Amino acid sequence: MHAGAWWLWALGLATAASRTTNPLLLGLLIAVAGYVVAVRRTDAPWARSYTAFLKLGLVVLAIRLFFAVFFGSPIPGTRVLFTLPEVPLPHWAQGVRIGGRVSAEGLVFALYDGLRLATLLICVGAANALASPARLLKSLPGALYEAGVAVVVAMTFAPHLVADVQRLRSARRLRGRPDRGVKALLHVGLPVLEGALERSVALAAAMDARGYGRTAQVPPAVARTTTALTLGGLLGVCCGTYGLLAAEGAGYGLPLLLTGLAAALGGLWLGGRRSVRSRYRPDRWGIRAWLVAGSGAAVAALMIWAATAAPQALQPSVVPLTAPTLPLWPAAGVLLGLLPSLAAPAPLSPSAPTREPPPPNELPAAPARAVRNQRRTTEPHPDRQPATSHEPPPADEAPAASARGRGGRCGPRSDAPPDSRPADAPDNHPTAHTSPGGERGSARAEAGPEEATQ
């Protein structure tokens, strides 16, 4: 999956979140983003940063409520919950207070506002967990690759930091030391900072060795045209966006936005000619990427339309304080964000290799090295002939030869006549090479019973 498709999908959800303060719709957006991340994220280190963004969203929500309690709220409330001691401030600090009355309307307004900001962070965290930063860098235009490198390095800082903290906490648990609390945080913080510095130095050395920052010669006319198109295009995008958002000027806002966008893209294309880059296996923008990006754009478009058609449903009233309701069409539009869970390819899960047992009537093949060693010992060399032939002993000498080969007593049996002693085997016969125990047994048998007992 193209990394840009995930970012367009996440930005569409973030745009939809910025258009509403309804906690039900915001919770639905968080649920959609979390489900897609749980189904389609990989086992890479940067994919585990979604939990950190969830915790960051909770921290932002808590900070927003803290400021509403201790520094007041711009919403005048009539339902006072409690009153804090107010700190007197000088005359020039009018409009700012510390302490005082805390109303239910002010807390609810702060809760809605903080939840919207937390949803924006969670949507960005979903893109960070689903899209590979390295693959996203490959997809940027050549004119922005330097800025892209800086952005990708900054974005990968959080996933690597989370991985380092988890690794160090696991090491402390294995050693029987506490991994929570202020003391554990102090012991973990220094190795994390040291690892971040070492990683940055190694990254700088790798970038220097691979030729980052190399530029090509561009004619001055092309450079001036690139600058004019880029700056003019960005100015047109800003003016067109202002025209669309303002109450007046919507007639020229969209044409100016499209013209500025085209000029900016042309400037980026010309600016990419000065950077010398090589791409290895570039990502293709296929039908799956179109479906993923289109689902995010559809969610944003439906939420913008609902904000103009029914603003009361997306902005629940705080004064007077009323319970929020879940509007049908905006909720259905948010559910379109679940399309990537079906359209995007499933992540590759490492599976253990399975070995099927051989059939009972077939033996496993011998290793190649064992076959070569067997050929060396069994096949004679074509240029070498054996000096003597190994003839098997006669049938009547086989028991004696086998007994001598086992290292036992090689003399005649007690029930055999003296003339039936077998003849000595030749030197090259296998039975002639007996073990030391066999030779000692033969000597004792020939020495007689008196010497053998000694």
Q: What are the pLDDT digits (tens) for 341-361?
A: 998 888 776 544 444 444 444
Chain centre to alpha carbon of residue 28: 25
Residue 91 pLDDT level (bands cut at 50, 70, 90)? confident
Q: Which of 236, 300, 288 is nearest to 263 (CA)?
A: 236
Contacts of 192 (CB under 8 A, 6+ apart): 161, 164, 165, 168
Do 31 and 135 lie in a common domain? yes
pLDDT digits 0-9 by tens, 374-396: 555 555 555 555 444 444 455 44
In a domain, 207, yes or no: yes
Alpha helices in 85-181 (DSSP H): 104-130, 133-138, 145-174
Q: Give residue 23's domain range.
A: 3-87+96-215+294-343
Read off φ and ψ for residue 323, nearest 5 degrees. -75, 135
Do 198 and 252 lie in a common domain? no
Six-digit token string for 407: 């290292």
pLDDT digits 0-9 by tens, 225-253: 888 888 888 888 888 877 776 656 556 77
Of 4-13, 133-142, 158-167, 342-351, the range with the highest mean pLDDT is: 4-13
pLDDT digits 0-9 by tens, 408-430: 444 444 444 444 444 444 444 44
The whole-chain average pLDDT of the chain stands at: 75
Instruction: Say what the pLDDT of residue 216 is.
Output: 67
In a domain, 420, yes or no: no
Residue 433 pLDDT level (bands cut at 50, 70, 90)? very low
Q: Above 80 in pLDDT, residue 293?
A: yes
Instruction: Say what the pLDDT of residue 197 is.
Output: 85
Do 320 and 175 lie in a common domain? yes
Asked if 1 contacts 347 with a C-beta cutoff of 8 angstroms, the reply is no
Do 253 and 336 lie in a common domain? no
Q: Above 70 in pLDDT, residue 431?
A: no
Do 172 and 151 lie in a common domain? yes
Residue 275 pLDDT level (bands cut at 50, 70, 90)? low
Give me the number of domains the chain comprises: 3
Q: Above 60 in pLDDT, residue 303?
A: yes
In a domain, 351, yes or no: no
Q: Which of 56, 167, 44, 176 is nearest to 118 (CA)?
A: 56
Do 196 and 265 lie in a common domain? no
Residue 452 pLDDT level (bands cut at 50, 70, 90)? very low
In a domain, 353, yes or no: no
Do 210 and 307 lie in a common domain? yes
Positive or negative: CA dihedral 428, 434, 440, 444? negative
Residue 43 pLDDT level (bands cut at 50, 70, 90)? confident
Asked if 199 contacts 222 with a C-beta cutoff of 8 angstroms, the reply is no
In a domain, 39, yes or no: yes
Q: Above 90 in pLDDT, residue 34?
A: yes
In a domain, 157, yes or no: yes
Do 152 and 231 lie in a common domain? no
* Alpha-carbon gap, residue 178 to 271, rounded angstroms: 54
Alpha helices in 272-386 (DSSP H): 287-309, 311-314, 328-335, 340-343, 368-378
Instruction: Say what the pLDDT of residue 439 is.
Output: 42
Do 199 and 224 lie in a common domain? no
In a domain, 394, yes or no: no
Chain centre to alpha carbon of residue 311: 40
Do 11 and 158 lie in a common domain? yes
Of 98-107, 245-254, 425-434, the range with the highest mean pLDDT is: 98-107
* Alpha-carbon gap, residue 122 to 126, rounded angstroms: 6
Do 227 and 200 lie in a common domain? no
- What percent of the chain has a predicted confidence (pLDDT) above 90? 18
* Cβ atoms < 10 Å from Cβ of 433: 13
Q: Above 70 in pLDDT, residue 130?
A: yes
Residue 136 pLDDT level (bands cut at 50, 70, 90)? confident
In a domain, 40, yes or no: yes
Residue with tokens 């100016």: 256
Residue with tokens 């259905």: 332
Do 152 and 206 lie in a common domain? yes
Stated pTM of the model: 0.59
